[in-house]
Amino acid sequence: MKNITWLVGNGFDLGLGLKTRYSDFLEWYVKPVDGDDANIRDFKNKLSDKKENRLAWSDFEKWLGEHAAAFKWEWHPWQIFLYGLLGVVFVLAIVLLVVAIISSYPDSHGFSWHLIKALPYTAIGFPVGAGTAALATTTKPKFSTGDYSKRISDAHNKLTLYLRQHVADRRPGSVDEEDFINKIANIRQHLKDNRSKTIFNKHGELGTISLPVILFNYTTAFERCVGSKFDGIINHIHGDIDRGVILGVDNAGQIANRRLRRSESTLETLLKPTIIDEKSRVRGDTAGEDARNTIRRSNIICVYGMSLGETDRTWWREIRGWLEGNPANLLIIFRYLDERERSANPDSDERRAIKQELMKFKTVSAADIRSGTGGVHKPPVGDNQVIVVPHYGLLVPKVKADKEPARR
């Protein structure tokens, strides 16, 4: 049995006309809402000013990690009290030394001796005392690291709400389910150039196939297209409208704040592999491990509606390791072309670019994912292991024609 795995991203929803672009959500999210506190209002203002982040979800996720650099650690009251007390002690020590020096004034020799002994204490005590005293009066920063986690949580919750209000009821209509399943099962029909056909034909007749699907989008539109006749496994690795969405960065190294990288609350809010594992623990399933095993058991992987984004590095690392592990494995990337690009065949240039992109994602052990470190380069992926297929709406389902009412 051949395992043909589909990785499907937000591009699939866009092909159905659903308003699931980051810019669609952003336009809705940044509008002022009663109940927003100063922290969330500031967050929305920052997003409104970052016009370049309107491009894709991966840009937004990457910016969330970079945004962490703007937050300072908040001093706890006991820390302010302790350092303030230390400052007072040093100041009192200086005062006592000065008093001792003045009291020794009648003895000119003693005065000189006490003054010499007091200088080191004064040199150390004065700056330390002044600094710690200033710390004791330091006010709470306008926005602290705790506010950062609240911003991330608000984005999660509001994205789920947006999708439920504006996307959930938009269904493809009366879909020809058999035609749609044929589109994902019969890959050969989508290959137009001779090189792609030659590479694909090396796999011979596929015979019986398994069609697992890993969804990186948030809607249930794909399930509606395949219908009840589809017997393949569907894994919503980044959550969905009903169970809540998963949004964030791939590893701690993408969080631009050293303290926040060590914060469990931040990692549980922003680190996608951690969130996946936690949600799986609560639900009692193994979604993350199932997705990794699905990739490893695949003979062919088809990627549709996704980009090679840094915030999904875990999965691109997995795919690179899968390609390197068996030279017979084949990666097919379906790339949407807009009207300006449709006159060209991007396979050669795109294939080369994609292989270079995959080389960025070092194959690492699971222990490295959390820390964002480690990994070693391996031999390049074979030239015949990657096919790029241009398309103009490949997985847009066919809508069944309404039957004419029976005549009396």
pLDDT higher at 211 or 392? 211
- Least confident range of 26-40, 89-103, 347-361, 366-380: 366-380
- Least confident range of 55-59, 252-256, 267-271, 380-384: 380-384
Kindly give the pairing relationship between strand 330-336 and strand 300-304.
parallel
Predicted confidence (pLDDT) per residue in 49-95, tens digit:
865 555 789 989 999 999 998 886 555 565 556 666 666 666 666 76
Q: State the pLDDT confidence band at 5, using cuts at 50, 70 and 90.
A: very high
Could you give the CA distance from residue 200 to residue 389 in angstroms, rounded to a whole number? 12
Task: Determine the average pLDDT of the residues in 29-50.
Answer: 89
Q: State the pLDDT confidence band at 365, using cuts at 50, 70 and 90.
A: very low
Mean pLDDT of the chain: 79
> Is the pLDDT reported for residue 126 higher than 70?
no
Q: State the pLDDT confidence band at 363, using cuts at 50, 70 and 90.
A: low
The owner of tokens 């908040």 is 74
Task: Determine the average pLDDT of the residues in 84-107.
Answer: 64
Output the pLDDT for position 406.
46
Q: State the pLDDT confidence band at 405, using cuts at 50, 70 and 90.
A: very low
166 with 28: CB under 8 angstroms? Answer: yes
DSSP string over 300-365: EEEEES----GGGHHHHHHHHHHHHH-TT-EEEEEEE--TTTTTS--HHHHHHHHHHHHHHS-B--
Residue type, 307: S
Task: Determine the average pLDDT of the residues in 227-243.
Answer: 90
Output the pLDDT for position 312.
93
Three-class SS state of 75: coil
> Is the pLDDT reported for residue 270 higher than 90?
yes
> Is the pLDDT reported for residue 135 higher than 80?
no
Alpha helices in 8-144 (DSSP H): 10-15, 22-29, 38-49, 57-67, 77-103, 108-136
pLDDT higher at 407 or 52? 52
> Is the pLDDT reported for residue 326 higher than 80?
yes
Q: State the pLDDT confidence band at 243, using cuts at 50, 70 and 90.
A: confident
Could you give the CA distance from residue 93 to residue 75 in angstroms, rounded to a whole number? 26
pLDDT higher at 213 or 204? 213
Task: Determine the average pLDDT of the residues in 382-388.
Answer: 83
Task: Determine the average pLDDT of the residues in 192-220.
Answer: 86
The tokens for 333 are 């990337």
pLDDT higher at 214 or 381? 214
Residue type, 314: T
> Is the pLDDT reported for residue 233 higher than 90?
yes
Task: Determine the average pLDDT of the residues in 135-160.
Answer: 77
> Is the pLDDT reported for residue 291 higher than 90?
yes
- Least confident range of 93-102, 126-135, 139-148: 126-135
> Is the pLDDT reported for residue 172 higher than 60?
no
- Least confident range of 129-138, 156-165, 312-321, 384-393: 129-138
Percent of the chain with pLDDT over 90: 36
